[in-house]
Chain A
Amino acid sequence: MLLEIKNLFRRFGGLQAVSDVNFSVRQGMIKAVIGPNGAGKTTLFNLISGALPPSSGEIQFKGRPIQGLPPFRIARQGMARTYQNIKLYPGMSALENVMVGRHCRSRAGFLSGMLALPWTRREERAIREKCLELLNLLDIADLAEVEATSLAFGQQRAVEFARALAMEPELLLLDEPAAGLNIYETAEVARLIGKINAQGITVLLVEHDMSLVMDISQEIVVLSFGEKIAEGTPAEIQRNKEVIRIYLGEDDAEG
């Protein structure tokens, strides 16, 4: 198992944001976490990537516990993420943003950076080339020198994708990659996720756009009010009564 989540809890004051969640992600698969707004999906991602420490429970990445580690340590072990509300670095070009993604795959430090040693300049060139390649892959190479935060929404999302890919992660966490995109752009994102996965990168995505999830994922976990209420293949999830009840809101209809 690449990622294993066991009895994970996270409380915010009196609110149980994530409650006894268990699931695992196999190497090479695309897995999705779905659920209505406020189900705890983003909190779950923040727990996995280290942005938040869990209240209790265990998260294992490549067989080693990572719960409570700071995000940069988890990132260095091979986990990359994107954000639901895009977080690019303002004042830096698209290319520079992506180049930050190479941070954990390069090693020039304060001293070697200040002295501009020959090997650091070689490393810097290699970083630049690799990142230009990634921009090319995402069809935004012509925007390399444009300030990232001034780009259109869809393009910013692509830069964020490229930045995550620059880390050469084993596991890629995508937080609502289709949020705010129209159906054409969503289809494009779906194609892209497939392409990334074909390169051997395991993908775990959070999404509440059902169409995207059903098309591309092999397995789905459904969260509601912080608890896992179902897990299975897309076909199984589509037939699950509990899931249908939550999504169609039978309770509301009756009440």
Chain B
Amino acid sequence: MKRHLPLIFLVLAVIGVQLLTRATGAAFYLTPLTMAAYYSLVVVGLCLLMGYAGQISLGHAGFFAIGGYLSAMLTTKNLMPLKENSLIAACDRLGLLTHGQDMFGEPFLHMQPWPACGCAILATVVVAYAIGIPVLKLKGHYLAMATLGFGIIVYRLALASPLFGEADGISEVPGFPILPGLAVSGDFSARVSNYYLAWGLVAFAMWLLVNLIHSRVGRALRAIHGAEGAANAMGVDTARYKLNTFVLSAVLAAIAGIFLTHYNGGIGPSEAGITKSVRYVAIVAIGGMANLWGALTMGALLNIMSLRGMFGSYDDAVFGAILIVIMLFAPQGLLGIYLPAALKRLLRRGA
């Protein structure tokens, strides 16, 4: 039970912050708080991959973008011209499509958010396996460079393809009704419910990941990180474990991309950019690499600051600087070094 204490703290903090914004009339803070939750989801997934399995990815914005872009494209693209296509017709019969009329009275047909979300996740899984199988044979710099290459490809595809709106991205993405009465959308009236939905998703993901790192699998991942050959010699299928972890963290990034895209009502190519991938890595590093709670804390904090414009035009420069400073002075992360030491001092004084 001890391991789930921070989870209780997270739930209390989420509720507390919402009450605080209401009491102070600062409800406008809920939007960056909600967006920060989704970005933090990418960060904790990357933390599992980097901190526990010891594999770097400089292309995680690519997975975020695959999720976001596919869900946006499928829910906005008019499938009317393809109506006769047997696959589209079958989807229509299964009730996966929405019929309607646009503002000019033209009939349209597009996919509903749930099946679109399913397709986006499925595509992410396929791409993550396809990339992961060859690439995870590499180590260190080589793996970093290969995942960087993947990120660049996704970015250029998003930027160059008319299907994905080129430099403009995709806009007018509809809300995503999760349950009756609860939809992921940027509607003013749904601000509070979306805040809780986003942080509820993060809390659920944290519960899953904390369980995982304390399980047989988590132990095997840390063993792979420490001494891959010796982990293999103990019966750990190291290649499969690295691959599964890569796919799992890619799926978390994709889910974040899907939800944030429906929340924002659109997505642009900057979400697929290398600077975003580097930002995620920087946050995992400052959170302490093998420290899920550290990654979540720093992910929430830095993203809120960034979304509130506190870094001004130097946004990306700040994350670059964080990366340099952390690597030089605190490779164990800020929270990894100072927090436990401070807690120990505090406890000693108390005793």
Interface of A toward B, CB cutoff 8 Å: 49-51, 70-72, 75-76, 80-81, 83, 87-92, 96-97, 99-104, 106-110, 112-116, 120, 123-124, 127, 163, 167
Contacts and interface: CB of A to CB of B under 8 A. Distances in A.
A83 B230 contact: yes
B233 A75 contact: yes
Interface in B106-146: none
A87 B217 contact: no
Nearest to A164: B234
B262 to A, nearest CB: 25
Given A100-B223, A114-B211, A87 B230 contact: yes
B331 to A, nearest CB: 13
Contacts of A91: 222, 225-226, 290
A90 B228 CA distance: 11
Given A103-B216, A113-B212, A116-B215, A89 B230 contact: yes
Contacts of A92: 219, 222-223, 226
Interface string B201-230: 000000011011011111110110111011
Contact of B229 (A51, A104, A108, A116): A51
Contacts of A127: 216
A115 B217 CA distance: 12
A103 B220 contact: yes
B232 to A, nearest CB: 4
Interface residues of B, number: 29
A180 B71 CA distance: 60
B235 interface: yes
B230 A88 contact: yes
A123 B216 contact: yes
B171 interface: no
Given A114-B208, A167-B234, A100 B217 contact: no
Given A88-B227, A89-B223, A115-B208, A100 B234 contact: yes
B322 interface: no
A163 B248 CA distance: 29
B159 to A, nearest CB: 34
B230 A110 contact: no
A106 B47 CA distance: 26
B226 A103 contact: no
B40 interface: no
19 contacts: A50-B233, A71-B233, A72-B238, A89-B222, A90-B226, A90-B227, A91-B222, A96-B219, A99-B219, A100-B223, A103-B235, A103-B236, A106-B216, A113-B212, A114-B211, A114-B215, A115-B211, A123-B216, A124-B216
B218 A113 contact: yes
A15 B92 CA distance: 67
B187 interface: no
A51 B233 contact: yes
A75 B215 contact: no
A83 B236 CA distance: 17
Nearest 9 pairs of A and B residues by beta carbon: A104-B235, A113-B215, A89-B226, A75-B235, A87-B230, A116-B211, A114-B208, A113-B217, A108-B216
